Amino acid sequence: MSAATLPVPTASAAPEAPRRRRRGLGNRPGFLVYGLLTAFVLGSSYPLWWSFVVASGSNATRAETLPLIPGENFVRNALTVLDAVPFWLAVGNSLIVASVITLSVVTFGTLAGYAFAKLRFKGRDGLMVSVIATMAIPTQLGIIPLFISMRQLGWTGELGAIIVPMLVTAFGVFFMRQYLVDVIPDELIEAARMDGANQIRTFLHVAVPAARPAMAILGLFTFMLAWTDYLWPLIVAPQNPTLQVALSQLQSGYYVDYSVVLAGAVLASLPLLVLFVVAGRQLIGGIMQGAVKG
């Protein structure tokens, strides 16, 4: 081949890799993004830190302007909480209530969500609209008839009266339905049926593995809501208190020591913080997978 026939490199033949790298540099977050995220994290975490600072000080600490340095009285205030209320009984009750409700909501929410998302039956859309419509009704409107029902059943004062009304939630069904409607291809379900799998096996071996990230998110949120619920346990079972009901006893009387009250609040928040730290990776992975599932 002669020199005249050799290809001459042109500007358009420049390597693409450096261009891609240069284009990628513009996608990195800048100072403004990091500044906003830092401000958001500090603003979100300060109330919890303020609670700990007051809980480790005295009742006068809460009157200070933006206290930042914790005191030395947290252990003493925490021991006061343990002596003033049936703390460990309330922790056990809250664990039972939150665990049973979480397991039930995740199980039935996944079952119903799969049925609404992938099964074809008469009246499916109308039933789904009815489920969504119940979310527009304030919970407080049903407290009186629900309490009357629990009293007629003889369940008042029992943990069952707290658990049973929360075994299934409309939000859990709607959340799982919205997740499963696109994440499971219809062809995969048809392939499982052609292999001889019945509805139960198809649900267990096809739907459950695909729904695991959403189940983890729903479980975390449900446990948090059940753990922090106050109004219904106070009404139906004050004699058998959950943790929030027990801690409310710290504010009875004319004088309230807020350092002790906030020490109890910090102790009640520790299980939730541990849960989010342990399950944080699964939570973030589920959110990201749900964001790109389409």
Is residue 8 included in any domain, yes or no? no
Is residue 47 included in any domain, yes or no? no
Q: What is the rounded average pLDDT for all residues in the chain?
A: 82
Is residue 34 included in any domain, yes or no? no
Q: What is the pLDDT of residue 14?
A: 47
Give the confidence band of 22 by pLDDT, cuts at 50, 70, 90: very low
Count how many domains the chain has.
Answer: 1
pLDDT tens figures, 100-157: 999 999 999 999 999 998 888 888 888 899 988 988 888 888 899 999 999 999 899 8
Distance (Å, whole) CA 63 – CA 57: 11
Cα-based angle 154, 160, 164 (whole degrees, multiple of 5): 105
- Reference 92, options 241, 285, 263, 272; nearest CA is 241
Q: What is the pLDDT of residue 285?
A: 62
pLDDT over 60 (residue 5): no
Is residue 284 included in any domain, yes or no? yes
Least confident interval from 62-76, 78-92, 124-138, 201-215 = 62-76
Is residue 240 included in any domain, yes or no? yes
| Contact assessment for residue 112 and residue 171, using Cβ atoms and an 8 Å cutoff | no
Q: What is the pLDDT of residue 25?
A: 47
Is residue 72 included in any domain, yes or no? no
Is residue 73 included in any domain, yes or no? no
Which residue range(s) make up the domain with 152? 79-291
Is residue 65 included in any domain, yes or no? no
CATH number for the domain harbouring residue 267 = 1.10.3720.10
Give mean pLDDT, residues 166-177. Answer: 92
